[in-house]
Structure 1
Amino acid sequence: MKGYLKDQIGSIIFFYSQIAIVMIVAQLASSLGGSRIGNSDFLYMLIIVTFFLAIYHISRYAKYRDIYRYTIDDATESAWLPDTPDHLTSQLKEHYEKQYQSYKQQVELLHSEKKQETIFMQQWIHQMKTPLSVMRLTLEKEEHNLPAQLKQNMDEELDRIKNGLQLALYQSRLQQFERDFHVEKIVVKDLVHTIIKEYKSNFIRNRVYPKVEIDPSIHIYTDQKWLGFVLEQITSNAIKYTGDSNSTIYYQAAVWEGAVELKVIDHGIGIPQQDIKRIFDPFFTGENGRHYRESTGMGLFLAKQICDSLEHQLEVSSEPQKGTTIMIRFDPS
């Protein structure tokens, strides 16, 4: 009813303004004729017109009641509208339903195209992993026949391709995160050792040494695959931005107020203070990215997106030329 009165307030004010003009004219006319209309007469006329005005608006509101009471509590509801009482609202309803159907078809088409694109991307990435594995096996087989520097350069390029494929694959999977998600109990130390083993060649090639300081009894509940990707990106960045060789990357975990805090600490070049607020932005490489061309600006962005989806906290603290600490906090279940 409030909505109806708000819509009709202008017409009601106009109606009473016309009644006031009529009363003024009637009073002037009666004065010229030598008589005068009493206040009780004006009050009686005002009551009469108000009564009929109220009857009119009550009947009109009854016709539009369903429309005024209709609300959408769920944005996913269909484009249903109540039956319309007149030709104007019928036209508006028809136009609305046609527009809704058109938008619905466009959205369904976009979803279908996006799904096909995602499937193609994932299949292509998996197909690219086969020749990549063949190239690495061939390189290992011919290791003794190749110059050491060439072997190292080839390893670096193959790792770069592998990391790029991983980024593309997980970015594609992230769009359907809820369908590719499995929570299980994970021993933190075992997961860290798995990541270190995966990046063994990178550690050796860059002369960086991992040191694990984690109690074997510490465990968490999360998705191993997704969290493993996050740790891969953190480890890759720690190795990449270590700076000097013979440095150490520390993996530490502790239980604090019931939550598990996993830290990856390096003593590399660090992150400039003006860049820290933007390191989770997509494609942001910052000042360090100008010196390391292989930076894509997507690793930490995806890591943050995954941690948010897993309901883990990802925090970064850093000082230029002193190092960076990245912490993942796993709140108690």
Structure 2
Amino acid sequence: MKFIDFIKDRVMLLLLQGFAMFLLAGFLYATGYPTAYGAVIFLCWLLLLLAYLAVEYYRRKRYFKQMAEVLEHVDQRYLLGELMPESFRLEDHIYQDMIRKSNKSVIERIRQIEAEQKDYREYIESWVHEIKAPITGISLMCENHRDELTRRISLENQKIENYVDMALYYARSEEVYKDYVIQETDLQEVAREVLAKNKHYLIQNGIQAEVDCRHRAFTDQKWISFILNQLVLNATKYKGDSNACIKIETQEYAHGVRLLVSDNGIGIKEEELGRIYDKGFTGSNGRTHERSTGMGLYLCRKLCGRLGIDISARSREGAGTQIILEFPVSSYLSKL
């Protein structure tokens, strides 16, 4: 708090003091008091006023400094009303009481929203599990009656399943910690399962896949499988015109293992590369090729953040894209 601001806040008090001094000076002049007496009175008055302002400024500055320190060090700032420093001023007590009531209302509203979100998330999860039954049924019927029609139905059914999985993992993305198990995972096995799951989609698009994952990583197999599935679908969606290929491989680096998903597709414009993880961003490729939701890479980055995986991308327009997942190995895990 600046002293000039403090003075501005008390301008009415100063004007009142000045007016009182003017009235006293008129009274002394009218009653014939010597000028020296008046000067002593005004000097004492002025010194007392300055002393009061100095003490008051110091106390208010210290009070607001304590409040600022509380805000800086507390994680849950909505608890400010409970942590405000003590003050003898009635005005401060009234403000503190108002802040407490306001924060209480905010906390109740937050809890209400959290409860509504939890109910909605549970509904989505229940809906996904229910709809998976007919999806699996359609898949089995297509496998038992193979012809051109059932092959097409199976392909579309796989697309539906992928979108359903995306809805499920998006609903769970805020509470990944409740549903993951970190363990040593065979990335070769995960990659093969993802490719097998999308084999019809890959065949239809004439895409060759190559897997060379010789390393293991500490992660959750289910979540990394979903992330890798999204990357494969993206690579398929933005494939090149001929000799389309997807390569999934691993590399060891100083702090862990890298999983690289490379393709020779249409690539990404340099000016758009920094925005590919933005929610709903489709870019120029999304508008000129197969319809895109702009949720795949957004969800991948979000889940990678929850799992402690670093995700990055390299791309050149017309020359393909490479997505890199880095699985750091902590000193604790390295001892196991």
- Which runs of 5 or more structure 2 residues have no equivalent in the other structure? 331-336
Classify 1:15/1:152 alpha carbon distance in 2 versus 1 (closer, same or farther; 3 Å).
same
Classify 1:264/1:107 alpha carbon distance in 2 versus 1 (closer, same or farther; 3 Å).
same
Classify 1:19/1:43 alpha carbon distance in 2 versus 1 (closer, same or farther; 3 Å).
farther
List 4+ stretches of structure 1 deviating above 6 A. Answer: 2-6, 59-68
TM-score relative to the length of structure 2:
0.79
Q: Which residue of 2 aligns with 1:201?
A: 200
Counterpart-to-counterpart distance in 1, 2:250 and 2:281: 28
The residue type paired with residue 177 of structure 1 is V
- Measure how far apart 1:233 and its partner are: 0.6
Q: Which residue of 2 aligns with 1:231?
A: 228
- Measure how far apart 1:85 and its partner are: 4.1
Counterpart-to-counterpart distance in 2, 1:61 and 1:272: 58
Give yes or no for contact 2:237–2:290 (8 Å, CA) kept in 1.
no
SS at match of 1:175: helix
Q: Which moved more, 1:116-125 or 1:321-330?
A: 321-330
Aligned residue pairs total 324
Classify 1:113/1:251 alpha carbon distance in 2 versus 1 (closer, same or farther; 3 Å).
same
- Deviations 1:44-90, CA, capped at 9 Å, x for gaps: 86357535764797599889987874434232563425666455444
- Deviations 1:171-223, CA, capped at 9 Å, x for gaps: 00002122223221223323222322222332333332211233x3x222222
Counterparts of residues 63-82 of structure 1 (less than 5 Å): 69-70=66-67, 71-72=70-71, 73-75=74-76, 78=79, 79-80=81-82, 81=84
Give yes or no for contact 1:67–1:84 (8 Å, CA) kept in 2.
no
- Measure how far apart 1:15 and its partner are: 4.6
Q: Which residue of 1 aligns with 2:333?
A: none
Give yes or no for contact 1:64–1:85 (8 Å, CA) kept in 2.
no
1:119 to 107, 119, 122: 122
- Measure how far apart 1:113 and its partner are: 0.7
SS at match of 1:275: helix
The residue type paired with residue 185 of structure 1 is E
Q: Which residue of 1 aligns with 2:217?
A: 220
Q: Which residue of 2 aligns with 1:178?
A: 177
- Which runs of 5 or more structure 1 residues have no equivalent in the other structure? none
Classify 1:259/1:42 alpha carbon distance in 2 versus 1 (closer, same or farther; 3 Å).
farther
Give yes or no for contact 2:263–2:320 (8 Å, CA) kept in 1.
yes
- Measure how far apart 1:239 and its partner are: 2.0
Q: Is 1:273 aligned with 2:273?
A: no
Classify 1:11/1:66 alpha carbon distance in 2 versus 1 (closer, same or farther; 3 Å).
closer
Counterparts of residues 47-58 of structure 1 (less than 5 Å): 50-51=47-48, 54=51
Classify 1:76/1:19 alpha carbon distance in 2 versus 1 (closer, same or farther; 3 Å).
closer
Q: Is 1:97 aligned with 2:100?
A: yes
Q: Is 1:242 aligned with 2:242?
A: no
- Measure how far apart 1:229 and its partner are: 1.2
Q: Is 1:316 aligned with 2:319?
A: no
Q: Which residue of 2 aligns with 1:168?
A: 167
TM-score relative to the length of structure 1:
0.80
Classify 1:8/1:182 alpha carbon distance in 2 versus 1 (closer, same or farther; 3 Å).
farther
Counterpart-to-counterpart distance in 1, 2:210 and 2:47: 87
- Measure how far apart 1:36 and its partner are: 5.2
Give yes or no for contact 1:23–1:42 (8 Å, CA) kept in 2.
no
- Measure how far apart 1:262 and its partner are: 1.7
Counterpart-to-counterpart distance in 1, 2:90 and 2:9: 22
Identity, % of aligned positions: 26
Greater share of helix residues, 1 or 2?
2
SS at match of 2:275: coil
Classify 1:155/1:274 alpha carbon distance in 2 versus 1 (closer, same or farther; 3 Å).
farther
Counterpart-to-counterpart distance in 1, 2:60 and 2:297: 58
Give yes or no for contact 1:122–1:172 (8 Å, CA) kept in 2.
yes
- Deviations 1:223-261, CA, capped at 9 Å, x for gaps: 222222111111111122223455321122212333422
- Measure how far apart 1:159 and its partner are: 1.3
